Amino acid sequence: MKTVGSEQFTEIREAVRALCADFPAEYHRRIDEERGYPEAFVDALTKAGWMAALIPEEYGGSGLGLTEASVIMEEINRAGGNSGACHGQMYNMNTLVRHGSEEQKQKYLPRIAAGELRLQSMGVTEPTTGTDTTKIKTTAVRKGDRYVINGQKVWISRIQHSDLMILLARTTPLDQVRKKSEGMSIFIVDLKDAIGNGMSVQPILNMVNHETNELFFDNLEIPAENLIGEEGQGFKYILTGLNAERALIAAECIGDGYWFIDKVTAYTKERVVFGRPIGQNQGVQFPIAESFIEVEAANLMRFEACRLYDENRPCGTEANMAKYLAAKASWEAANACLQFHGGFGFAAEYDIERKFRETRLYQVAPISTNLILSYVAEHVLGLPRSF
């Protein structure tokens, strides 16, 4: 089926599809049932170089842009997998590449590119402040050549399958800064050193098979050289990762959307009830056609967000809108797919209920739909700030 972007990046698409073909639906279903981690799949992606897509060539990566990275993520989800197991390395990468020092890049990037280290985690969300990020309570206090971290994070993903995490913490108290977005800093945390030495991890069992955790910091010491960029400017830097994350998740939802549409289209052509294929009824056709139109529209916005990002231009609005449109469209496609499979939609062996749960997450994380609407209302339309 010809869709937006399907005739572009064909080499990447074909190569990722070929790799994904070695990990069929049964593989992802089994991992989901076992609440496991798709280790073999992530290893294969790493060995093939896809996890180093955004690392510049001089550090051993392939120097591709977010656009290409988003195509990789889209294809994984379109093939029935879940990029959520490994997309952290993609969205964190430019935070380090664009804002890290030369020493930091020399130290980490070649080893990440070689598959010796994983940079899969980002610690922003906190239990008591939620989306109100500038109020975070986790602090980092400079003591000589170390920073001492205290506080708590929640919903921090892939900690058990990553070596490194980018952590956002307050370095200047909120009441001592001019603007509330100032006084926060980001750090590289070596997870293997930190766990048991000031950082503890409490896994959160959740609706999706997504490895995510509560983190507790009790005087965790990290070397001062792990500060990324300038102290106090971390919120600005973390937006590099957050905008990339929104555009990538849009692409994943688009992959999901096409997966649901392919699946439901094939099924409704064949399933005969009342003497004709159910897909002959307009009541069945229209929700499928509507979700296809919405996925296509979301896809245009995703390419626009990625284009701006790759040109290093402001893209917060487009990244947010792409994520909003794509998460909504994939959810509509998921609903149609489940509905028109009737009872079979609930059977695990059809994979629909698994993908349904997976794609539902993206109306809440990494940013909820309501917060995108209020961003557009305030920052694009100039309406009064609502909170």
Ligand X SMILES: Cc1cc2nc3c(=O)[nH]c(=O)nc-3n(C[C@H](O)[C@H](O)[C@H](O)COP(=O)(O)OP(=O)(O)OC[C@H]3O[C@@H](n4cnc5c(N)ncnc54)[C@H](O)[C@@H]3O)c2cc1C
Number of residues interacting with ligand X: please give it, by CB under 6 A: 22
Q: Does 374 bind ligand X (CB under 6 A)?
A: yes
String marking each residue 25-64 x if it binds ligand X according to CB under 6 A:
----------------------------------------
Cα separation, 14 vs 4, whole angstroms: 16
Q: Does 239 bind ligand X (CB under 6 A)?
A: no
Q: Nearer Cβ to ligand X, position 154 or 352?
A: 154
Stretch that binds ligand X, among 8-16, 123-131, 228-236, 314-322 (CB under 6 A): 123-131
The dihedral through the CA atoms of 316, 321, 326, 328 has a sign that is positive
Q: Nearer Cβ to ligand X, position 48 or 373?
A: 373
Stretch that binds ligand X, among 18-26, 106-114, 176-184, 367-375 (CB under 6 A): 367-375
Stretch that binds ligand X, among 71-79, 203-211, 220-228, 336-344 (CB under 6 A): 203-211
Are the C-beta atoms of residues 362 and 356 closer than 8 Å to each other?
Answer: no
Q: Does 125 bind ligand X (CB under 6 A)?
A: yes
Q: Does 6 bind ligand X (CB under 6 A)?
A: no
Terminal-residue alpha carbon distance, the chain: 44
Are the C-beta atoms of residues 25 and 80 closer than 8 Å to each other?
Answer: yes
Matching residue, tokens 């170390």:
146
Q: Does 372 bind ligand X (CB under 6 A)?
A: no
Stretch that binds ligand X, among 16-24, 124-132, 144-152, 277-285 (CB under 6 A): 124-132
Pairing of strands 272-273, 212-223: unpaired
Shortest Cβ 120–ligand X spacing (Å): 9
String marking each residue 336-365 x if it binds ligand X according to CB under 6 A:
-------------------------x--xx
Cα separation, 297 vs 307, whole angstroms: 16
String marking each residue 142-181 x if it binds ligand X according to CB under 6 A:
-------------xxx------------------------
Distance of CA 39 to CAs 36, 47, 234, 282, 361, Å? 8, 12, 31, 43, 22
Cα separation, 233 vs 237, whole angstroms: 7
Out of 118, 210, 302, 355, point to the residue binding ligand X (CB under 6 A): 210
Residues near 163 by beta carbon (within 8 Å), at least 6 away in sequence: 117, 118, 119, 190, 191, 192
Q: Is the peptide bond before 366 cis (omega within 30 degrees of 0)?
A: yes
Classify 104 as helix, strand or coil: helix
Q: Does 383 bind ligand X (CB under 6 A)?
A: no
Among all residues, which ones are annotated catalytic?
245
Are the C-beta atoms of residues 69 and 247 closer than 8 Å to each other?
Answer: no
Q: Does 131 bind ligand X (CB under 6 A)?
A: yes
Shortest Cβ 317–ligand X spacing (Å): 18
Distance of CA 342 to the CA centre of its chain: 31
Are the C-beta atoms of residues 86 and 69 closer than 8 Å to each other?
Answer: no
Out of 17, 30, 114, 130, point to the residue binding ligand X (CB under 6 A): 130
Q: Does 243 bind ligand X (CB under 6 A)?
A: no
* Residue 215, beta-bridge partner list: 153, 201
Out of 368, 375, 377, 378, point to the residue binding ligand X (CB under 6 A): 368
Shortest Cβ 155–ligand X spacing (Å): 3
Q: Does 72 bind ligand X (CB under 6 A)?
A: no
| Residue type (1 letter), 312 | N
Q: Does 202 bind ligand X (CB under 6 A)?
A: no
Question: Which of 345, 366, 117, 160 minimizes the C-alpha distance to 252?
Answer: 366
Q: Does 367 bind ligand X (CB under 6 A)?
A: yes
Distance of CA 52 to the CA centre of its chain: 16
**Site residues, ligand X (CB under 6 A):** 122-125, 130-131, 155-157, 206, 208, 210, 212, 361, 364-368, 370, 374, 387
